[in-house]
Structures are given as structure tokens and as C-alpha cells.
Amino acid sequence: MTEEIADHLAQWPPFAIEITLYGRTRETYEALTAVPGSYDRCLRGIKLLKERNLPLKLKTVATSVNKHEVLAMRQFAQELGVEFKCDGQVNPRIDCSQSPLATRLTPEEVVALDMTDPKVVEEYHKLAERDLHAPPNLSQVDTVYICGGGVNSFALNAYGEVGICVISQQETFGIRGSSLRAVWDDSLQQLRNRKRSRLTKCVQCRIQSLCAMCPANGELENGDKESPVEFLCEVAHLRAAVVGAEIPNHGDCEFCAGGMHHADMLESARRVVNREVDVESWTGFHQVLPILNNSSVAVGGCGSCGSH
Ligand code: SF4
Ligand code: SF4
């Protein structure tokens, strides 16, 4: 962010500007970015945007490297008077380098972090109920993509290439020498309408809405848009178990009853529900588990998962 860009944005204010904080100290921030000087540049950018009253939001991705500064980052956002979001979802780099995954929180920590937000807990309950009673989204269509990417939005990168979204960047289409309209109507729509090649365990899964698995994550982590990401699958099953949702069998799934990781997943759910996974000390948020306290998970096992 430079003075010139900040002035331009002030002249043409966008709907929102989001900046990711990687830490609240130079040491932590640059341990994660591995870019010397990036912490000071980030703070300078925030200052330039705030001075112009631009619609700034701050967010962070909690990792094993910076989680001890989540609370300080949140306080910094409060001091600035801007919204702050914290997520535990670390993706590979968009060039598919897997190096960021070394800093991922454990699935238990990701779900325990979710449970610090009452709105998120409530939403997971609603989504799990909806998925249980309605045919899963992926089973209703035969396309690889089922989201709004390429339908009501697209991403334009710094090289003038259009893609489905900022994460799905393995297939992009240049608009230089063509036009945005032509790319949108032709190449992007062909990609968006591509048919899936096979039935995976995701197709009939009834906890799809609790899961971050999507074509972008499949291609980033497995090199294949349709290949389920094990980490995301574990997190989704753990979420479902923690909120007491039923998980009907959906094929050859290692986290479902009978699967090789099912028992471990149930033990993780028990630990989250019994608050044995500490997130409060680094987020400053208290875990809220209003419904879980009445669920069978809370007393040492997941009744919903164990029942199928
Ligand atoms: S991240 Fe996944 S769900 Fe979101 S727009 Fe991209 S492909 Fe679709
Ligand atoms: S990755 Fe697992 S939890 Fe996620 S949609 Fe596929 S089967 Fe369901």
C-alpha cells in the first residue's frame, strides 16, 4: 500500500478492504511471512487506509506460529475501531506449495476455535439439520463446482487473469487481448459447467455444509478438484460430532463409523466438548457449548456418530 494507491482508493472507495495480520509483533509476523520488512509495510498500509477513512477490516489466520498473538491482534483492531475476524483454516499456497500446512492448527484446535463464537455454533446446528433433511447439494448437480464462484462472482489476479475465485487459480484466463465479457461468457463458463468425473464420498455426504472441501481446496492440496481433503474431512466430522449432529454413512469414509479414524475423531470431540483443548488463553474468547452440555458427546462419546 502506497500513498498513491491509498489516494486512488479514497477517490474510488471499494465496498471493503481486508488486510490479514500475521502477528502483532514483528518477530511473529515475519516468522510466518518470511519476508523481512513485511510487518512494518503492513502497519504502514493500515495507517494510510485509516487516515482516509476507507472501509478497512482486519483478519487473521490462527496458526501454530501466531496463535499466542490472536488476542493482541484483536485488541489492535478494537483500538482502530475496525472489524476483526479469526479463522483457523490454513490453505496451501496458490502455487500449490504445501509449506503453509506445517503451521496448521490441529483439527481439535480448529473446532474449539469455532466453538468460541455462539453465532457459529448456532449456524452449524442449523446447517447440520438442513443437510440431514435435504438432499446434499453435491448430489443434486453433476458439475464439479457447486458454489457461487463463476456464477455470481469471479477473481481477477494481478496478471490480468480471471478465475473462479481467489483460491481456485490453477485454471485462469487472460483478459488482455480478449475481454472480460468474452472470458466470462466462454472459458470461465465452460470451467464452471464442467461435469464431475466420478462419485466420491463427498457426493452423498450429509455434512457438506460443515465442511470446507471444495474444488479449490481439492486442487490446492491434492492436485485434483474432486479429491476430498483428509484434514477438511476430519474437521467437518469433528464439528458435526461436537454439535451433536447425526452423520449418515456416505461411502468409504475413514471418519465415519467403521472407518479407521472414527474412534480418534470421537475422542477429539470429547476433548473439545470437555474444554480440554485450550483456545481461550490465546483468543481471549470463552468457549460456548450451550447445546453440547446436554449432548451425549459431553459425557465421553458422540452419540450421534456412534449410533450409525
Ligand atoms: S473457495 Fe471453493 S467454494 Fe469458494 S468460490 Fe472458490 S471453489 Fe467455490
Ligand atoms: S470431505 Fe468429508 S466431510 Fe467434507 S464433504 Fe467430503 S465426505 Fe463430507
DSSP-assigned letters across all residues of the chain? --HHHHHHHHHS--S-EEEEE--SSHHHHHHHH--TTHHHHHHHHHHHHHHTT--EEEEEE--TTTGGGHHHHHHHHHHHT-EEEEE--PPPPTT---GGGGGPPPHHHHHHHHTT-HHHHHHHHHHHHHHHHS--HHHH--BS--SSBTTTB-EE-TTSEEESSSS--SS-EE-TTS-HHHHHHTHHHHHHTPBPSS--TTTT-TTGGG----HHHHHHHHSSTTSPPHHHHHHHHHHHHHTT------SS-TTSTTSTTHHHHHHHHHHHHTT-S--HHHH-PPP--TTGGGSGGGGTS-HHHHT-
Q: 230 and 275: one domain?
A: yes
Q: Which residues line ligand 1 (CB under 6 A)?
A: 145, 147, 149, 164-165, 167-168, 214-216
CA of 201 to the centre of ligand 2 (A): 7
Q: 181 and 278: one domain?
A: no
Q: Which residues line ligand 2 (CB under 6 A)?
A: 201-202, 205, 207-208, 211, 213, 228, 232-233, 236-237, 250, 253
Q: 77 and 164: one domain?
A: no
CA 148 to chain centre: 16
Q: What is the mean pLDDT of the chain?
A: 90
Domain that holds residue 159: 145-194
Q: 257 and 296: one domain?
A: yes
Counted domains in the chain: 3
CA of 274 to the centre of ligand 2 (A): 25
Nearest ligand (C-alpha, residue 256): 2
Q: 110 and 256: one domain?
A: yes
pLDDT on residue 281 = 86
pLDDT on residue 303 = 31
pLDDT on residue 305 = 29
Confidence of residue 289 (pLDDT cuts 50, 70, 90): low
Q: 184 and 156: one domain?
A: yes
CA of 34 to the centre of ligand 1 (A): 27
pLDDT on residue 273 = 92
Q: 171 and 300: one domain?
A: no
CA of 216 to the centre of ligand 2 (A): 14
Query: What are the beta bridge partners of residue 87?
Result: 61
pLDDT on residue 144 = 96
CA 76 to chain centre: 23
- Domain edge (last residue) among 194, 225, 255: 194
Taking CA atoms only, the protein residue closest to ligand 1 atom 7 is 216
Q: 187 and 277: one domain?
A: no
pLDDT tens digits along 240-287: 999 999 999 998 999 999 999 999 999 999 999 999 999 888 888 776
- Domain edge (last residue) among 194, 214, 233: 194
- Domain edge (last residue) among 194, 214, 229: 194
Q: 132 and 227: one domain?
A: yes
pLDDT tens digits along 177-202: 899 999 999 999 999 999 999 999 99
pLDDT on residue 295 = 39
Q: 221 and 304: one domain?
A: yes
Say yes or no to pLDDT of 306 above 50: no
pLDDT tens digits along 91-140: 999 889 999 999 999 999 999 999 888 888 899 999 999 999 988 888 88
Q: 171 and 239: one domain?
A: no
pLDDT tens digits along 214-225: 999 999 999 999
Q: 152 and 135: one domain?
A: no
Say yes or no to pLDDT of 297 above 80: no
Position in ligand 2 atom list of the atom nearest CA 202: 6
Contacts of 1-7 with CB under 8 Å at 24 or more apart are 1/41, 1/44, 1/45, 1/48, 1/49, 2/48, 3/48, 6/45, 6/48, 6/49, 6/51, 6/52, 6/54, 7/52
117: closest CA among 142, 85, 94? 85
283: closest CA among 106, 105, 72? 72
pLDDT tens digits along 42-81: 999 999 999 999 999 999 999 999 999 999 999 999 999 9
Q: Which of 233, 235, 247, 249 to mutate to test the pocket of ligand 2 (most atoms within 8 A of CB)?
A: 233
